[in-house]
Amino acid sequence: QQQVKQSPQSLIVQKGGIPIINCAYENTAFDYFPWYQQFPGKGPALLIAIRPDVSEKKEGRFTISFNKSAKQFSLHIMDSQPGDSATYFCAAKFGAGSYQLTFGKGTKLSVIP
């Protein structure tokens, strides 16, 4: 299967909180896991990405945690701000030679002041 399951569908946190968005996959041939951020009326933009040989990656306030044995990965946003309010998509690329990204269904995050 080339499915990526994302949860929750929506998330509301207060400013300064740490929202966590989770994704799970079945196919162990996936070899690249990016997260995209999308603001209303805009196209998605790459936020951060990880490969399965790494357990954690940080870029600024954004961290991906990757659990290869559980086939799960998650996005954590430290010290969340109202400007982080957006829809977040996890994705996975299916193995060497593939150019296709399989996207999760998205999580709409609202950070309230």
Partner 1 sequence: NAGVTQTPKFRILKIGQSMTLQCAQDMNHNYMYWYRQDPGMGLKLIYYSVGAGITDKGEVPNGYNVSRSTTEDFPLRLELAAPSQTSVYFCASSFGGQGYEQYFGPGTRLTVT
Bridge partner list, 67: 72
20 near partner 1, rule: CB under 8 A: no
42 near partner 1, rule: CB under 8 A: yes
Nearer Cβ to partner 1 (84/93): 93
Per DSSP, which regions of 1-106 are E strands?
A: 4-7, 10-14, 20-25, 30-38, 45-50, 56-59, 62-67, 72-77, 86-94, 101-103
Tell the smallest beta-carbon distance from residue 16 to partner 1 (Å).
28
CB 76 within 8 A of CB 54: no
67 near partner 1, rule: CB under 8 A: no
CB 6 within 8 A of CB 87: no
Nearer Cβ to partner 1 (17/48): 48
Q: Which stretch binds partner 1 (CB under 8 A): 13-21, 63-71, 76-84, 90-98?
A: 90-98
Tell the smallest beta-carbon distance from residue 47 to partner 1 (Å).
10
Bridge partner list, 66: 73
Q: What is residue 61's DSSP assignment? A: T
Query: Binding residues for partner 1, per CB under 8 A?
Result: 6, 9, 31-32, 34, 41-46, 49, 51, 89, 93, 96, 98-101, 103-106
